[in-house]
Structure 1
Amino acid sequence: MLKDEVNKALKVVQDGGIILYPTDTIWGIGCDATNTEAVKKIFALKQREESKSMIILLDTDAKLPSYIQDIPDVAYDLIEYAENPLTLVMPGAKNVSPALIAEDGSVGIRIANHPFCQQLIQRLRKPLVSTSANISGEPSPQYFAQVSDDIINGVDYVVDIDQHSTEIRKPSTIMRIEPNGGFQFIRR
């Protein structure tokens, strides 16, 4: 079941499509983080300003150096010891779509802990975009049943995993880390 869904989603993402999928936090809309056309489809679907960046998911922190210029050592400690899903916003973004990089050169990255996300990212060999499955300004859905029809009908594929779960999941904690190791919370 999981393998079949990973295969179906992989094909859609490799072909430049966007998917609706479960994560270790809330349901997300995603695509290949290196494909600018696909990233722009997500901005259009969410009716979101392109100046508001979206995060990327990786399957392991070993891949961080491929997407961030200089990673402060504290980043690895924060990832290792975080009790809840943690998104780190770091400067020096590289090798992702320019549409995902903020004006200050930063990008938000989370190491996904969901088996579907991990397997899809491993197979894709690229980061996956992750943004909440809602129209900009509307509340983020806490589980699949709360995702609006506009979003469901607007993606190229809806992953058939965890759809019946009503477990309340919260968005990740977001921290900004500076190259000198200084950090601040953006969302707790």
Structure 2
Amino acid sequence: MLREEVAKALKVIQDGGIILYPTDTIWGIGCDATNTEAVKKIYSLKQRDEAKSMIILLDTANKLESYVSNVNPLAFDLIEYAESPLTLVMPGAKNISPALISNDGSIGIRIVKHHFCEQLIQRMRKPLVSTSANISGKPSPQYFSQIDSEIIDGVDYVVDLDQYDMEIKTPSTIMRLAPDGRFEFIRK
């Protein structure tokens, strides 16, 4: 089942589509983080201002330096010792769609710990965009049954995993990390 869902999602993403999928936090809408047209489809579906950037998911911290210039070594410790999902916002974003990079040049990255996401990212060999599965301004759904039909109907593929999981999940902690090691919490 997992392998089949990864293969189906991969095909949609490689064709420039967007998917609705489970993560280690809340359900997300995603696409290939290097495909600007696909990224713009997500902004349009969410009715989200393009000035509000979205995050990317990676399967391993070893890949951070492929997408961020000058990663502070503290990032690796924060990721390793975080007790809950952690998104790090770091300057110097590179090798991703310009539509994902904030005006200050930063990108939010989370190392995902979810079997589906890890396998999909490994097969993509690229980062996966992740943004909450809601219309901008509306509450983030805590589980699949709370996702608005407009979102479900607006994606190219809905991953058929964890749809009946009723465990309450919350968005990740977000921390801004400067190259000099200074950090601040954006969302706890």
- The verdict on a shared fold, with TM-score over 0.5 as the criterion, is yes
Aligned counterpart, 2:91: 91
Query: Cα distance, 1:135 vs. partner?
Result: 0.1
**After the TM superposition, which parts of structure 1 deviate over 2 Å for at least 4 consecutive aligned residues?**
none
Percent sequence identity over matched residues?
74
- The reply to whether residue 120 of structure 1 matches residue 120 of structure 2 is yes
Query: Cα distance, 1:107 vs. partner?
Result: 0.1
Q: Within 5 Å, which residues of 2 pair with 1:38-117? A: 38-117=38-117
How many Å separate the matches in 1 of 2:70 and 2:144?
37
Q: Within 5 Å, which residues of 2 pair with 1:1-188? A: 1-188=1-188
How many Å separate the matches in 1 of 2:139 and 2:110?
21
How many Å separate the matches in 1 of 2:167 and 2:159?
17
Corresponding residue SS for 2:120: helix
Query: Cα distance, 1:168 vs. partner?
Result: 0.3
Read off the aligned partner of 1:169 and give its amino acid letter.
K
TM-score scaled by length of structure 1: 1.00
Query: Matched residue pairs, number?
Result: 188
How many Å separate the matches in 1 of 2:169 and 2:110?
16
TM-score scaled by length of structure 2: 1.00
Corresponding residue SS for 1:56: strand
How many Å separate the matches in 2 of 1:72 and 1:7?
34
How many Å separate the matches in 1 of 2:177 and 2:107?
11
Query: Cα distance, 1:90 vs. partner?
Result: 0.1
Read off the aligned partner of 2:116 and give its amino acid letter.
F
How many Å separate the matches in 2 of 1:152 and 1:166?
18
Query: Cα distance, 1:146 vs. partner?
Result: 0.4
How many Å separate the matches in 1 of 2:166 and 2:16?
30
How many Å separate the matches in 1 of 2:74 and 2:116?
27
1:94-120 per-residue CA deviation (whole Å, 9 max, x = no partner) reads 000000000000000000100000000
How many Å separate the matches in 2 of 1:48 and 1:83?
30
